[in-house]
Amino acid sequence: MEKDTKVVNIIKSRVEKAEYGTLFFNNSFPEFDDEYVGKILANLANYGTLIHLSRGVYLKAKTTEFGIVYPPMEEIAKAIAKRDCAQILPTGATALNALGLSTQVPMNIIYLTSGSARVIPVGNRTITFRRATPKNFEIEDRTRSLIVQALKAIGEANLTEEELAYIQQIILKNAPEGNVKKDMAAMPSWIRKIFKTTLKEHNYDLAGT
């Protein structure tokens, strides 16, 4: 009993000292049993010290007169992905916003993941993780991955000249980063063609592609 009280006090103290916006998981305290930690975190949520977002996911959030202050959705998504040892990639409207192709911040953000599919409620918004095949994560450079996801969201037939010109600027600016040839090999053919045409028009060496 004394040992249990000690563990509870240790976890409670760490939670209280943590900054607002910190996420806690059942495995956030590796020196203790995950299941037992989960019960303690659940109790802290019942007392209002933490907010229970989803199974095994808790948040220390600041409450103001205007309501609960949540950290950026992207930070929450990254923390969950790190906990799950999973890769994530913004897709759809989330990718469009991340690239600046849309100024509208999606209420509900969507990520492709190499981990488990799940939906995390965050206040009146949600983070959706959609299980994706490994091929979606073969592009190593993050910006090029975002471009691919954004173009998929727009669709080849719906791509405007203005959108194409904007994407071409990003392609050229990012061209020196990483292995562009290797990344292009993992792209859908119509998107690879956009990269190839853009880079060749600006004398970027794409020999062998």
CA separation for the pair 27, 206 (Å, rounded)? 46
Which are the contacts of 38, defined by CB distance < 8 A and separation ≥ 6? 26, 56
Query: What is the value of pTM for the model shown?
Result: 0.83
Neighbours of 187 (CB within 10 A): 20
Among 45, 20, 23, which residue's Cα sits nearest to residue 120? 23
- Indicate the CATH number for domain 2-64: 1.10.10.10
Phi/psi of residue 117, each to 5°? Answer: -75, 135
- CA distances 18 to 62, 73, 76, Å, are 11, 19, 15
**pLDDT by residue for the chain (209 residues), tens digit each?**
555 788 899 999 999 999 999 999 999 999 999 999 999 999 999 999 999 999 899 999 988 888 899 999 999 999 999 999 999 999 999 999 999 998 888 889 999 999 999 999 999 999 999 999 999 999 999 999 999 999 999 999 999 999 999 999 999 999 888 899 999 999 999 999 999 999 988 877 775 55
